[in-house]
Amino acid sequence: MVGVISATSGDFGPFRSVEESTISHLTTPATRTDVLSWYVTTSTLGSALGNEAAGHIASFLKRLQGSKQDITDVYHALFWIYVAMGVLSMIFACLMSRKLWFKSKIAEISQESLSVVIKLWILLTIDSLADGMVSYALTNYYLVRKFGLAESYLGDIMSICFLLMAISTAFAGPLARRLGLINTMVFTHLPSSLAVLLLPVPQNVGLTIALLFIRTGLNSMDQGPRAAFIAAVVKPGERTAVMGITAMLRTLGSTIGPSLTGFLADTDKFWIAFVVAGALRVAYDLGLFYLFVDLKINAPEQAKDPATNDQI
């Protein structure tokens, strides 16, 4: 748990890459995108419930303790709840079947796979830098500074955001079957990127929240197809290593972002962070489309089932 508490309020630690690799091993190319999309959907629903609960718990504790209570004590209570949930997750992980364990302890990534994933890693690092600059925690802070929103109201807003995210992510699998993995990733993520870029423009709460809903509602539709794409372009034995390196690079990219945004916020130029992040996200989307739209997928699994080879 210690390694996954981050300023971005997201989990880029080792757990997710292992989970995605495990799901990829348990599924076929025909079902993988759907299963991974539902994996993202269920985790997003949990985030929606967590945001709803956190805002109201914080407001309740503040009222209960009165004005003399230090606000940090209120948030300490939320972290203890987080610790309890982490322990519960650890218990569930220990109950998983040993059949999911891999025999090989050291994975080597082939040159053929590296030629694809290195380009993807560069793009994902750029995207993670942008996400780190305008993480949901920093976006909440921006809304509080600009509009003075209360914690309970902000919790309601973010809960709706994550609920929209969960609903949209459930459709990522069917959409990927119709449009292809890369097209789904690009054409769902691009409107979200534009919403980030335009977020500082409105001077009223309503339009700002509408752009926030667009951003979050479409932001995670690419996650299931992206994990399926990585699983499709590398060998099965390479998946955990590749997904682990992907998670590490995304973490490194996201950790730089908050420092840049903090500097801009101190100089009353908070809005620039959203413009820069939006532009970087758009560059990621266009680069993804240009580099991978015509790439063949499932080649490492073609020997088992030649019918699985397809275009992204």
What average pLDDT does range 257-274 have in this prediction? 92
pLDDT of 3 higher than 50: no
- pLDDT > 90? residue 142: yes
Say what percent of the chain tops pLDDT 90: 35
Min mean pLDDT across 29-43, 121-135, 294-308 is at 294-308
Band of the pLDDT at 138, cuts 50, 70, 90?
A: very high
Contacts of 197 (CB under 8 A, 6+ apart): 274, 275, 277, 278, 279, 281, 282
Residues in the chain: 312
Q: What is the mean pLDDT of residues 178-203?
A: 95
Task: List, in sequence order, every residue forming a beta bridge with 296; answer none if it has no partner.
Answer: 311
8 A C-beta contact, residue 37 and residue 225? yes
Confidence band, pLDDT 50/70/90 cuts, at residue 308: very low
CA dihedral 109, 24, 127, 248 (to 10 degrees): -50
The pair of structure tokens assigned to 168 is: 């949209």
Helix (H, G, I), strand (E, B) or coil at 27: coil
Comparing 42 with 278, which gets the higher pLDDT?
278
CB atoms within 10 A of CB 302: 15
What confidence tier does 287 reach under pLDDT thresholds 50, 70, 90? very high
The secondary element (H helix, E strand) that includes residue 296 is: strand 296-297
Mean per-residue pLDDT for 50-63? 77
The Cβ-side half-sphere exposure at 217, using a 13 Å CA radius, reads 12
Q: What's the average model confidence in pLDDT over 125-146?
A: 92
Nearest to 3 by CA among 231, 238, 244, 221: 244
pLDDT score at 96: 73
Most confident of 39-43, 100-104, 142-146, 282-286: 282-286
Q: Count of alpha carbons within 13 Å of 175, Cβ hemisphere only?
A: 19
Give pLDDT, residue 100: 60
**Tokens representing 190?**
């691009």
Work out the end-to-end distance of the chain between its first and last CA atoms, rounded to an integer number of angstroms: 35
Average pLDDT, the chain: 83
CB neighbours of residue 114 within 10 Å: 14
- Residue 129: band (very low, low, confident or very high) from pLDDT cuts 50, 70, 90: very high
Q: 9 pLDDT exceeds 70?
A: no
Q: Report the half-sphere exposure of 69 (CA within 13 A, side-chain side).
A: 16
pLDDT at 37 over 80: yes
Topology of the domain comprising 2-311? Growth Hormone; Chain: A; (1.20.1250)
Buried b (16+ CB within 10 A) or exposed e, 246-276: bbebbbebbbebbebbbebbeeeebebbbbb
309 vs 48: which has the higher pLDDT:
48
User: Is 8:258 a contact under the CB 8 Å cutoff?
Assistant: yes
Does the pLDDT at position 309 exceed 60? no
Tell which wins on pLDDT, 9 or 244: 244
pLDDT of residue 307: 39
206-222 pLDDT, tens digit per residue, is 999 999 999 999 998 99
Alpha-helix runs per DSSP H in 170-266: 172-179, 181-198, 205-219, 223-233, 239-266
pLDDT value at 112 more than 60 = yes
Rounded CA gap, 277 and 231, in Å?
28
What are the residue boundaries of the structural domains of the chain, listed by start? 2-311
